[in-house]
Structure 1
Amino acid sequence: MNKLKEYINNISYLNENVFRELEKCFTPLQLQKKDFFVREGEYARKIGFLQEGIVRAFFFNEKGKEYNKQFFIGPSIIGAYTSLLLKQPNTIAQQALTDCKILVADYERIEGLYNDFHEIERLGRKIAELYFLEKEKKEIEMALLDADKRYLILRKKFPSLEALIPQYYIASYLGISATQLSRIRKKILQL
């Protein structure tokens, strides 16, 4: 739980008593590579604290083409947030790309702490704000930057990612083909 405490306190400090109440909500979970944290079509009920490992968030378009929306590398919060908030079926699956160590909590149980512990409610808001800012940043990058620049940003943000997962996942995340990614990588290596 030390990783969870450190991660949380970097976002919004919780005193020891409040953290202990939040900590009671979490239980350990191991995901093996290719296991799902949440599937498309399921109603999400849990959030997770990814301690170690890599999880991808992805979806398919109407033609069946796969898009990788996000990568989560521990330490990170994972979960189908839209499904949790709207209580609707999930549209974006989350799957382990490596073996993962996760702490899992029932989202409603955490929400139940909001009235008693405003520090936990503030933490939830700050986490939502961070993910909103990250989402907006990626949308702007996808719209305004060419694939070379997006690739360099990915490498800076996730320096070890390329060595751990298949290249076609990275290409999908960048919105390009695997062939285009190969060309970009070759060009950058030659610089």
Structure 2
Amino acid sequence: MSLNLSLLQSIIKIYGEVSSANLKKITDLASLVQLEKGTLICKEGSSNNKEYFLTAGICRSFILSEKGEEISLGFYIGPVVLPPQTSRVKFEKSLYQMECLSGVEILELPADQFLNLMVEEEEIRNWGNAVLHQELSEKVEKELILASCGGKEKLQWFRSKYPLLEQQIPHGMIASFLGMTNISLSRLRGGV
């Protein structure tokens, strides 16, 4: 399967500009992978030394509660950069799971080699910092919504943030993401 340079460039441009020379350096590290629905890209507690660009499809991040219930942390709809390795790995182990909610196409890059590129190339470093900034901003936005809004407002925020996703994934995943029960979400969906 060949790497679509224009698709990579469109993902890069979401976060900032990178010269053709630096785009080539990133491309040289990337491998294109297709994964089936239900595949775990990374598993909590397992080693993971990759960076991921989701070119097509839907993924989510989640953790397991003490009772073994899945709690959704985030949703990602391609094209997008999945959370950077530095934000999802501690002591070389993944902090949470990343699951394909549809068939997906991903560009994988060795995280250590990408980090070397960031050290060597200021432009790539600035781009990587923009990705981290975006990730942090989205986490803060979600935290504020969950802490300060009622159920109706949470659902409205979800719908504005992820248009059409409600029709594509199980509602239990949405309920856990919004910090509510399936029953509460069902009632809200009927009234909103």
Match of 2:178 among 167, 170, 174: 174
Q: Does residue 156 of the first structure (1) align with residue 160 of the second (2)?
A: yes
Q: Is the Cα–Cα contact under 8 Å of residues 44 and 83 in structure 1 kept in the other structure?
A: no
Instruction: Name the structure 1 match of 2:143.
Output: 139
Deviations 1:84-141, CA, capped at 9 Å, x for gaps: 4x43321210000100011111110101112321111111111001100110110010
Instruction: Name the structure 2 match of 1:118.
Output: 122
Deviation at 1:27, TM superposition (A): 0.6
SS at match of 2:94: coil
Q: Indicate how the Cα distance of structure 1 residues 60 and 144 shifts in structure 2: closer, same or farther if over 3 A, else same.
A: same
Matched pairs, number: 187
Instruction: Give me the TM-score of the superposition, normalised by structure 1.
Output: 0.93
Q: 1:82 is matched by which residue type in structure 2?
A: S
SS at match of 1:62: coil
2-structure distance, mates of 1:166, 1:186 = 16
RMSD between aligned alpha carbons?
1.3
Q: Is the Cα–Cα contact under 8 Å of residues 88 and 96 in structure 2 kept in the other structure?
A: no
Instruction: Name the structure 2 match of 1:77.
Output: 81
Deviation at 1:2, TM superposition (A): 1.4
Q: 2:34 is matched by which residue type in structure 1?
A: Q
2-structure distance, mates of 1:33, 1:114 = 32
Match of 1:185 among 186, 189, 192: 189
1:29-108 maps to which residues of 2 (within 5 A)?
A: 29-79=33-83, 80-84=85-89, 86-108=90-112
Q: Which 4+ stretches in 1 moved above 6 angstroms? A: none
Runs of 5+ consecutive residues of structure 1 not aligned to the other structure: none
Q: 2:66 is matched by which residue type in structure 1?
A: E
Instruction: Give me the TM-score of the superposition, normalised by structure 2.
Output: 0.92
Deviation at 1:83, TM superposition (A): 4.5
Matched-pair identity in %: 27
